[in-house]
Amino acid sequence: MLSQAINQRITRTGPGTPMGLTMRRYWIPAMLSAELPRPDSDPVRIMLLGEQLIAFRDTTGRVGLVAHNCPHRGASLFFGRNEESGLRCVYHGWKFDVEGTCVDMPNEPAESDFRTKVRAVAYPTVERAGVVWTYMGPGDPPPLQTQEWMRVPAESLDVCKHLGEANWLQLLEGGIDTAHSSFLHRSFLQSRARTLDTRGFRARSTAPKLEVVTTEYGYTYAGIRALPDQDSDYVRVYQYVLPFHQMRAFEGYLGHPLISGHIWVPADDESTWVWSWTYTGGGEPLPAEVIEAEKRSAGRLPNDVVPGTFRFRRNKDNDYLIDRQKQKTDNYTGIDVISAQDQAVQESMGRIFDRSQEHLGTTDVAIIAARRLLLQACDDVEADRDPLGSRLEAITARPAEMLVPRGQHWHAAMSEQLVATV
């Protein structure tokens, strides 16, 4: 369990908070590039780490991310005119470029140099892998850290995002908790199957042994499941990348091996941008039918989302469309897609869970390790040290899963599978 003071330290991410200052030392996914479809397209509201921001793509195609309030009188730049390489406030015509420089101040005398003394708060951006990334920290930004999914060809990758309605740490801890998949995501059909279906393995072996190995970017962790009817153990290895990334092996569809992962970025202290990405490990094109099957299972098809938003149609307002009859006959929860199963339990904890009330067990090792790394990162930033991994340019690790012969250590058996090839 955590004390109330430490729980506040690790969950709050607004300006000036320890965790907020720490997250601002890393590049943060802000939005999909597709949300700004063309030069001079409509501005878009974005909430990140408790800050209201406005994103726009200028005439040359560059992306700007500026504070919501115009520095003149505070009107929202969301209503601004996106024109001629700048965003112009409609209140008095002040115009700002993607770097926050005031390039025009038409309500001041022509001879005035006042515009040279005013800047809008603006954060640098980089586009990579269909995502607009931003650095919200002090000083010059570090290199954009790439993971393998950010280096594969565009035709090998699918990226999407949705909104989770709880604190970021609840959603991250759900993601790095390998034990819950034995229950929350259990299909009764898979539980009875005796085939080499890894989801069936997790249903039949429900108390994994966890091992965590600290790395230069976070940690590698393995869930080791003994299979009584096999002469091997089912091992699923994940990668946790500070402060909010996870990589995981994903069961292949139609013979195409997939690697996937998530990023849990605080919108504010009570809501979270949940990013999901999937790519083909061999770099081959990602077939449309594979992505459709994955999104159907996860509940991320277009008709699963409330139109005009990133909120799922299955949400807390309708109890995630739980079906009590299905809970008796089809699956463990009666909720029929994975994303809604996750959010039902994570959001049911409340907007920010009081961790002084919890009781952790042996399968919570990865959660404990992540909290320790996050708190150490906060300590490092307060001591003016770079937090772990914030200056890395590339991560060459991969997740993997394998049947490992009993008696052989997973790290040796899977060493080749745990290295990125792109």
In this prediction, residue 256 carries a pLDDT of 56
Q: What is the mean pLDDT of residues 159-167?
A: 98
Mean confidence (pLDDT) of the chain: 93
Cβ contacts of 64 within 8 Å, gap of 6 or more: 55, 56, 57, 58, 87, 96, 97, 98, 99, 100, 122, 125
Same domain, yes or no: 96 and 227: no
Last residue in a domain, options 135, 161, 194: 135
In this prediction, residue 130 carries a pLDDT of 98
Using 50, 70 and 90 to split pLDDT, how confident is the model at 202?
confident
Last residue in a domain, options 135, 156, 181: 135
Do 164 and 172 meet the contact criterion of CB atoms below 8 Å apart? no
In this prediction, residue 158 carries a pLDDT of 95
Same domain, yes or no: 409 and 276: yes
pLDDT tens digits along 169-180: 999 999 999 999
The count of structural domains within the chain is 2
Indicate whether 86 belongs to any domain: yes
Peptide bond before residue 243 is cis, with ω within 30 degrees of 0: yes
What tokens appear for 224 in the block?
């080791």
Do 144 and 26 meet the contact criterion of CB atoms below 8 Å apart? no
Q: Is 223 helix (H, G, I), strand (E, B) or coil?
A: strand
Q: How many CB atoms sit inside 10 A of residue 273's CB?
A: 24
Using 50, 70 and 90 to split pLDDT, how confident is the model at 116?
very high
In this prediction, residue 117 carries a pLDDT of 94
Q: CA-to-CA distance for 134 and 324, rounded, in angstroms? A: 43
Q: What is the mean pLDDT of residues 25-39?
A: 98
Residue type, 240: Y
Same domain, yes or no: 377 and 270: yes
What tokens appear for 51 in the block?
């800050």
Same domain, yes or no: 345 and 394: yes
In this prediction, residue 331 carries a pLDDT of 92
Residue 413 has pLDDT above 80, yes or no: yes
Greatest Cα pair distance, the chain, in angstroms, is: 85
In this prediction, residue 228 carries a pLDDT of 82
In this prediction, residue 195 carries a pLDDT of 44
Report the percent of the chain where pLDDT is more than 70. Answer: 96
Indicate whether 419 belongs to any domain: no
In this prediction, residue 85 carries a pLDDT of 95
In this prediction, residue 251 carries a pLDDT of 60
Same domain, yes or no: 274 and 201: yes
Picking from 335, 239, 338, the residue whose alpha carbon sits closest to that of residue 294 is 338
Indicate whether 336 belongs to any domain: yes
Indicate whether 363 belongs to any domain: yes
Do 367 and 179 meet the contact criterion of CB atoms below 8 Å apart? no
pLDDT tens digits along 273-331: 999 999 988 778 988 888 898 899 999 999 999 999 999 999 999 999 999 999 999 99
pLDDT tens digits along 120-141: 999 999 999 999 999 999 999 9
Cα dihedral 130, 136, 139, 141, rounded to 10, equals -20
Last residue in a domain, options 92, 111, 135: 135
Do 252 and 288 meet the contact criterion of CB atoms below 8 Å apart? no
Using 50, 70 and 90 to split pLDDT, how confident is the model at 366?
very high
Report the percent of the chain where pLDDT is more than 90. Answer: 85
Output the domain CATH number for residue 87: 2.102.10.10
Do 157 and 291 meet the contact criterion of CB atoms below 8 Å apart? no
Indicate whether 154 belongs to any domain: yes
Pairing of the two strands 27-32 and 87-88: unpaired
The range of the structural domain enclosing residue 44 comes to: 27-135
Residue 200 has pLDDT above 80, yes or no: no
In this prediction, residue 281 carries a pLDDT of 81
Same domain, yes or no: 315 and 379: yes
Output the domain CATH number for residue 359: 3.90.380.10
* C-alpha distance from residue 420 to each of 176, 245, 395, 412 (Å): 20, 16, 8, 16
In this prediction, residue 123 carries a pLDDT of 98
Q: CA-to-CA distance for 138 and 23, rounded, in angstroms? A: 11
DSSP assignment of 85-120, as one string? SSEE-TTT--EE-TT-BEEE-TTS-TT--GGGG-B-
